[in-house]
Copies of this chain bind each other. A is one copy, B any other.
Amino acid sequence: MEIYNDKIHIDDSVSFNNNATFCVGTGRMSLALRNEYHNQLKKVQEEICFSHIRGHGLFCDDMAIYHTYEEDGVEKIEYNFTYVDMVFDDYQSLGLKPFVELGFMPEKLASGNQTVFYWKGNTTPPSDYQKWADLITATIQHFISRYGREEVITWPFEVWNEPNLPGFWKDADREEYFKLYNVTSNAIKNCDLRIRVGGPAICGVDDENWLMCFLNYCSNNKVSIDFVTRHVYATQAPKKDGHYEYQKLRSPESLMSELKNSRRIIDSFPEYAGMEMHITEFNTSYTPLNPIHDTNLNAAYVARLLSEMGDFCASYSYWTFGDVFEESGVAFTPFSGCFGLVANGMIPKPTFWAFSFFHNLGSNAIARSEYFIITKDSEDNLHGIAWYPVEENVNINVTLHFTIELNNGFYILIMKRVDELTCNPLKTWIDMGSPAYPSKEQLVLLRECARPQIRTKQYEVNHNAMNFDITLSANALCYFEIQRIQCETDQGYHPECIRGARLPF
């Protein structure tokens, strides 16, 4: 396929709200105590620099915050913030703020036994809402005491996770959630009115109805809300097989229309019109057992989403940064279809690079289509990303033809490619025989196979326009930069006399 794009002027301006790195998801909080988790997150931060991180399980028992004991025949409560300090200290050292999800329920405060996931998060309402409010207050006061009040007011707080699913909230009881939200929001605002709180953290099941009711509830009861949160995933119903689940993708358009609907609902409330909507989880598939997460298809599809989601959303948090994750148990293999940007064994997946590339992009777009986006930085260097998701098992490609209006002079085009041939560690792992327990040497090779291929080319622009093509094979993701250069020449240095110094791209 050939696509001839309109001539691009570097002084053009097109809308683009790049919040790809505002927030990222994580496995449950106690996993943040792990060594592999720390290493994966460090790698992610070195390359991508997310600002916030959000995950489940702050109040689960493995975080050991909520305790009771008997004194003089009376049950008393004590809190232990040792582990949450370890986690948040580590986040801070990696340049991350928490996007705090308040949940799930400590066993001793729970009203029932219902749990979710392999790791058994209790998903029932508190047995005593006052004790819940006390827990929220004590937790936030502790945060203020350790990290400083001015810091904590920069952390968003979200109440619970996906209460519209019965697995995550007993009976998906809407009124009960509203009560939880109300109590929690009040407890937070009592600590400091400036701390921002939001909900309802719903996924795409009965979402329009839930959102409408939630906002009505807040409005009618004058419950504080600073932002709206929801989730979105791009896959259809799964087919299970052994440890895995396979799914078809939805179109990006159908996903975007879900978000537009939420946006529309929010804006329909005069008092909430324009309120920030944070997508606190998104990905292609919602199951950590779908191999799509490990593929180049995932990277190309997500790149398209990253170019568009900012049109309606204040942020969109990829679920999740790494594969230290146990919702469906412990993976049997390093590539296991889990959500992460990094596979266990410190192997960046193709989607890792989608985020790295958007991190480099800035927000000042000058051209944009279904296949690419181009921005300009403060020094007039151009940055672009192109993608070509192909779900079917066919070998096709597309060539994008670009013409950019530029001043005459010399330029370098730098191109970094991530495609099924050049940066596909999943394929290399399968070539190795899909070892469940790869050796150190195999892990080194997998990491080496997980880097973009880089090429450069020098252009001389003579007639105020630079023409170049980018050919994308199926599921290719391509980052490019165009920089003006000064050609210097050292005394007696003649590239044309040096074998290999001048070559076609």
* Least distance between A243 CB and chain B CB atoms (Å): 5
Contact bitstring A481-492, B, C-beta under 8 A = 1, else 0: 000011111111
Find out whether the CB atom of A503 lies under 8 angstroms from the CB atom of B456.
Answer: no
Residue numbers in B under 8 Å from A242 (CB-CB): 490-493
Find out whether the CB atom of B486 lies under 8 angstroms from the CB atom of A433.
Answer: yes
Q: Which of B424, B487, B497 contacts A434 (CB 8 A)?
A: B487
Q: Please tell me if A369 contacts chain B, counting CB pairs below 8 Å.
A: no
Q: Please tell me if A34 contacts chain B, counting CB pairs below 8 Å.
A: yes
Give the contacts of A14-61 with B (CB-CB under 8 A): 33-38
Q: Please tell me if A436 contacts chain B, counting CB pairs below 8 Å.
A: yes
* Least distance between A225 CB and chain B CB atoms (Å): 31
Residue numbers in B under 8 Å from A260 (CB-CB): none
Contact bitstring A455-475, B, C-beta under 8 A = 1, else 0: 111100000000000000011
Closest to A452 in B: B448
Q: Please tell me if A8 contacts chain B, counting CB pairs below 8 Å.
A: no
Q: Which of B35, B420, B489 contacts A34 (CB 8 A)?
A: B35
Find out whether the CB atom of A292 lies under 8 angstroms from the CB atom of B82.
Answer: no
Q: Please tell me if A390 contacts chain B, counting CB pairs below 8 Å.
A: yes
Contact bitstring A77-118, B, C-beta under 8 A = 1, else 0: 010111101100110000000000000000000000000000
Q: Please tell me if A445 contacts chain B, counting CB pairs below 8 Å.
A: yes
Q: Which of B433, B451, B488 contacts A412 (CB 8 A)?
A: B433
How many copies altogether?
4
A153-161, A178-186, A202-210, A325-333: which one contacts chain B? A325-333
Find out whether the CB atom of B82 lies under 8 angstroms from the CB atom of A499.
Answer: no
Closest to A486 in B: B433
Q: Please tell me if A271 contacts chain B, counting CB pairs below 8 Å.
A: no
Q: Provide the bound-state CA to CA distance between A304 and B492, in Å.
A: 30
Q: Please tell me if A410 contacts chain B, counting CB pairs below 8 Å.
A: yes
Q: Provide the bound-state CA to CA distance between A240 and B494, in Å.
A: 12
A-B residue pairs in contact (CB < 8 Å), sample of 5: A89-B440, A240-B492, A241-B491, A412-B433, A445-B456
